[in-house]
């Protein structure tokens, strides 16, 4: 069941900004931060900077603790599932030109037929 909570305007602005930067919904950003916070509280050895380094391919995921790896996998899934603005623009231009493939609204890959081809 969905719940409502009160968040200060300052925190809400931060939440909106971070959600936009990460291509997440506001609810997705809250969930993301909850996972991180829960993991940090559970492990004194938890270090989110190490996770960011692994996501940026500057550190091997194998070098992360098991708690860090759990958050790393969640982050990686979120990143893979989200379309970046650049990807959206790329696919829009391809669709407009009648070229290539893209994703439908459900996220399924679809192939467009080129004009004049059966």
pTM exceeding the 0.75 threshold for the entire prediction: no
Does residue 113 carry a pLDDT above 80? no
DSSP the chain: --------HHHHHHHHHHHHHTT--HHHHHHHHHHHHHHHHH-TT--HHHHHHHHTTSS-GGGS-HHHHHHHHHHHHHHHHSPPHHHHHHHHHHHHTT-SEEE-TTS-EEEPPPTT--
pLDDT tens track for 32-48: 999 888 877 777 788 88
pLDDT tens track for 14-29: 899 989 988 889 999 9
């Amino acid at each position: 069941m969905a719940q409502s909570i009160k968040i200060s305007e300052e925190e809400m602005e931060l939440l909106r900004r971070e959600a936009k930067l990460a291509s997440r919904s506001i609810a997705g950003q809250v969930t993301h931060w909850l996972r991180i916070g829960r993991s940090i509280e559970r492990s004194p050895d938890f270090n989110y900077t190490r996770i960011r380094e692994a996501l940026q391919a500057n550190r091997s995921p194998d070098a992360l603790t098991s708690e860090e790896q759990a958050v790393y996998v969640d982050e990686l899934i979120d990143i893979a599932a989200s379309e970046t603005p650049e990807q959206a623009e790329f696919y829009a231009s391809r669709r407009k030109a009648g070229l290539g493939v893209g994703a439908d609204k459900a996220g399924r890959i679809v192939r467009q037929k080129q004009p004049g081809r059966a």
